[in-house]
A = this chain, B = another copy of it.
Amino acid sequence: MGDLDIADVARRSGVPASALRFYEEKGLIASIGRRGLKRLFDPSILERLTLIALGRAAGFSLREIAAMFAPDGRPRIDRRKLAAKAETLDRTIREMTALRDGLRHAAVCPARSHLECPSFRRLLRAAKAGVIRAPQISARKAKRRAARRSFKQPD
């Protein structure tokens, strides 16, 4: 009745059907049954997907996220892991902040070459100090992702 087919879920969540099947295969989500061949999802899937998006944004891998849902289904998220991730996140934030400031300066810096700018060299020294990790998201993917990003899920 209130159940959703995969297209509904895709539309309401912004997650492509192919990704939903993929998530199911990986155990991140489960359909509540089938109508013929077609998967049926409970509306609560939308909340679950939000949770998954959240985890991804926090830097968890799908594997890690899957582990956050107890085998019985509901989220039993390890609070220690959460705290640990918050810490990592915090480190990353500090790194990126330094980086952002460095970039901002470099963008307006009057020095001939960036290598001649003391501020830029400071940034380099910071990078050298090993302060830096790589985020890594491909340009094309990021673009497609951005184009798709509506994820409105009314509720």
Binding site for B on A (CB under 8 A): 47, 50-51, 53-54, 56-59, 61, 63-64, 74-75, 77, 79-80, 82-83, 85-86, 89-90, 92-93, 95-97, 99-100, 103-104, 106-109, 113-115, 123-124, 127-128, 130, 132-139, 142, 145, 149-153, 155
User: 19 interchain pairs (CB within 8 A)?
Assistant: A53-B132, A53-B134, A54-B99, A54-B132, A56-B136, A57-B96, A57-B127, A57-B133, A63-B139, A75-B115, A77-B114, A86-B104, A86-B107, A89-B99, A128-B155, A133-B142, A134-B137, A135-B137, A136-B137
Q: Name the B residues within 8 Å of A133 (CB-CB).
A: 57, 137, 142, 145
Nearest B residue (CB) for A13: B128
Describe A's contact surface by its main secondary structure: helix
**Closest residue on chain B to residue A81 by CB atoms:** B107
- State the CA gap A82–B79 with chains docked (Å): 38
Residue of B nearest to A155 (CB): B128
Residues in chain B near residue A100, CB distance under 8 A: 86, 89-90, 93
Give CA–CA (A107, B77) in the complex, Å: 9
Residues of B within 8 A of A128 (CB): 50, 151-153, 155
- Are B61 and A139 touching (Cβ within 8 A)? yes
